[in-house]
A = this chain, B = another copy of it.
């Protein structure tokens, strides 16, 4: 019951974040293919942020599925994660409107980094609540993706100092790594059939 409401609220917030970003996309000035080309970088950054929110929804879903319950600390760890994710529309817009300038892209990377740390904190809080021999601790195992991705975001943020567009490429690659579904958890709960 409590867990369900946490999921429902998170789903609501994530659904809104993923959707309102489209309100930010400026309509091309000319109604031509060339006009569409001029907003392609905007569409690309929208797609990237869409995929990141999708990844977080996916991982959040897998995480909560194995969780046995929640307490006050977990509720706040979850809100902390949602806070950083809620800044995505802001940092996406800033990066885009600045033409992917150095500082906005660095801020984009830092937001990715802080969201990843917030996810890690939530994960630890859930494992601590369930116990080290619970389903969550077993399923996550060494969790190299969760532990590795903050370093990629940090690397991308540093790359932005030299070449902001290349940094966006790094963030895109980090997203692709996550797109590979989290088979560890899936195998554990046994629905990794087919696909």
Q: Which residues of A contact B (CB under 8 A)?
A: 1-2, 5, 7-9, 11-20, 22-25, 27-28, 31-33, 35-36, 47, 50, 54, 57-58, 61, 65, 69-76, 79, 82-83, 86-87, 89-90, 93-94, 97-98, 101-104, 107, 125, 128-129, 179, 181-183, 186, 191-195
Separation in Å of the A51 CB from the closest CB of chain B?
Answer: 8
CA A33 – CA B105 in complex, angstroms? Answer: 11
Q: Are A31 and B71 interface neighbours, CB within 8 A?
A: no
The residue from B17, B86, B97, B179 contacting A27, defined by CB atoms under 8 A apart: B97
Contacts A11-B12, A31-B101, A36-B103 known; 12 new A-B pairs at CB < 8 A: A2-B61, A9-B11, A16-B16, A20-B22, A23-B89, A27-B93, A27-B97, A31-B102, A35-B103, A58-B76, A75-B181, A125-B195
Q: Which residues of B contact A14 (CB under 8 A)?
A: 9, 12
Q: Is the CB of A20 within 8 A of B20?
A: yes
A183: chain B residues at CB < 8 Å are 72
CB-defined contacts of A2 to chain B, threshold 8 Å: 61, 65, 191
B73, A181: Cβ atoms closer than 8 Å: yes
Assess the A71–B182 pair: CB atoms within 8 A.
Answer: no
A sample of 8 cross-chain residue pairs with beta-carbon separation below 8 angstroms, ordered by A number, consists of A2-B65, A8-B8, A8-B11, A15-B15, A31-B98, A71-B194, A72-B192, A76-B179
